[in-house]
Amino acid sequence: MKLDADARFPHPVLSPDTTDYLQGVFRTTFDVSEKPDTSEVRLDYQIELDEPTLRELIASDHAALGISVTCRETYYSRVLPLGLAGGQVNFEPGTLMGRVTVQPMIWTRKVIASFPLGNCHEEFHGTPLSFSAGTVLALDDEFAISVGREKLAQMETIFSIALFEELPAGSFSLNLDADRITVLVASDIYETVNTLRGLGHGKPITLNTVFLPAVMQVLDVLREGGEAYDGRRWYRVFQEKCTHLNIDPADCDLWEAAQKLLQAPFLEIHKNKELLGK
């Protein structure tokens, strides 16, 4: 159980996904800095809140603004208060690792006997609302960051190439049931692929004709959920890279995301003078 925007509330909540309030914005901006070797993470933040009822509740200490931070890998889950004026949050080294989700929100700190509903949708006007402490009043979009070294691993380190004699001539396939994503190559072209990988002007070709479609294929598999590969090293690295680059495998443009993951691979052809006959 964690606090998130998927929760349904029987009271007005100011968020990008609801129209519970007639007007008003709660928007947060975060810059993430990290020293991967020590897992030191810092969030610099700015807050935009122009809804007067919530601003007044925060000013009178009846409500607070902050983030719910959750890291499954390290069992870290805390609600951290933030200031309306913006500032900085420093996480103790060693507390976060892997995927970390951050949910900005506003919540009640004290009992509010009669919540002011003047700026709320008329569907809430019928009955006066009272809130106990710990009630969510506003949410901004949750976001995720990737902490640690996995996201920095070169993509090549999670791929390997293997001969697979049963494939039709001239074709490729993928095996994901190993610690590396294994590109299976038909026997008639196996040597050619390996030769190209060893040549300066051959690498851009394999990157674009073998690895780019392979990454797209992996993303397509992950679209359906990749839990079956949870124990595979490639899966961990791949997921961390996706989080770091803000790619949601469940909902992404395969070609666009694959180019992002391989850092615009066509540029390797574009800048290779030998390939262009220069």
Partner 1 sequence: MSRLKYVSNNTADSLRESVSGNAARYREGSFEDMMSDGEWSIELPVEVDLTPLEDLDPAGTSAAEVSNSKLVWKALSVLSPSLACEEGIWVRLTHLNCLDYARQRWLNTTMDDDALAKGVLDHFFADTLTKRRDDNAISRLWWNAYIASTAAPGDDLPALGLILSKADIRSNFIERSQTVSRPVLAAGIIRIMTRIPDVAAKEGNYRAFMRSVNRLGGGLVFEAMTDNDIDLFLDSCALSSGISIAKAA
Segment near partner 1 (CB under 8 A); pick from 43-51, 160-168, 228-236, 244-252: 228-236
Q: Residue 266: name the closest of 215, 203, 173, 204 by CA.
A: 204
Residue 84 to residues 51, 64, 111, 226, 269: CA-CA distances in angstroms? 12, 9, 21, 39, 48
Integer Cα distance of 223 and 108 in angstroms: 37
C-alpha span between 272 and 13 (Å, rounded): 54
State which residue, 73 or 253, has the beta carbon closest to partner 1. 73
- The residue range among 16-24, 128-136, 165-173, 258-266 that interacts with partner 1, by the rule CB under 8 A, is 128-136
Mask: binding to partner 1, 9-28, rule CB under 8 A, as x and -? x-------------------
Told to check if 86 binds partner 1 by CB under 8 A, we report: no
What's the min distance (Å) between Cβ of 29 and partner 1? Answer: 22
- Selected from 21, 49, 65, 148, the binder of partner 1 by CB under 8 A is 148
**270 bridge partner residues:** none
Candidate residues 198, 230, 277, 278; the one interacting with partner 1 per rule CB under 8 A: 230
Pairing status of strand 76-81 against strand 87-91: unpaired
Q: What minimum distance in Å lies between the beta carbon of 216 and partner 1?
A: 25
Tell me the one-letter amino acid at 167.
L
Taking the least distance from each CB to partner 1, the nearer of 233 and 260 is 233
State the SS3 of 211-272: HHHHHHHHHHHHHCCCHHHCCCHHHHHHHHHHHHCCCCCCCCCHHHHHHHHCCCCHHHHHCC
* Cα 105 to Cα 67: distance, rounded to the nearest angstrom: 6
For partner 1, the binding residues in 176-205 under the rule CB under 8 A are 179
| Phi, psi dihedrals of residue 174, rounded to the nearest 5° | -125, 145
Q: Does 70 bind partner 1 (CB under 8 A)?
A: yes
Size of the site for partner 1 (CB under 8 A): 39
Which span (114-122, 134-142, 202-210, 267-275) binds partner 1, by CB under 8 A? 134-142
Query: Whole-angstrom Cα distance, residue 187 to residue 180?
Result: 20
User: What is the DSSP secondary-structure string of 47-91?
Assistant: EEE--HHHHHHHHTTSEEEEEEEEETTTTEEEEEE--TT-EEEEE
Candidates 43-51, 107-115, 122-130, 261-269: pick the segment binding partner 1 (CB under 8 A). Answer: 107-115
CB of 9 to partner 1, least distance (A): 6
By CB under 8 A, which span of 6-14, 24-32, 165-173, 256-264 interacts with partner 1? 6-14
Pairing assessment for the beta strands 159-163 and 181-185 based on DSSP bridges: parallel
Distance of closest approach, residue 1 Cβ to partner 1, in angstroms? 4
Q: Which is nearer to partner 1, 75 or 113 (CB)?
A: 75
Q: Looking at beta carbons only, is 132 or 154 nearer to partner 1?
A: 132
CA–CA distance, 114 with 38 (Å, rounded to integer):
47
User: Can you give the binding site for partner 1, defined by CB under 8 A?
Assistant: 1-3, 7-9, 39, 64, 68, 70, 72-79, 93-98, 105, 107-109, 132-136, 147-148, 179, 230-231, 233
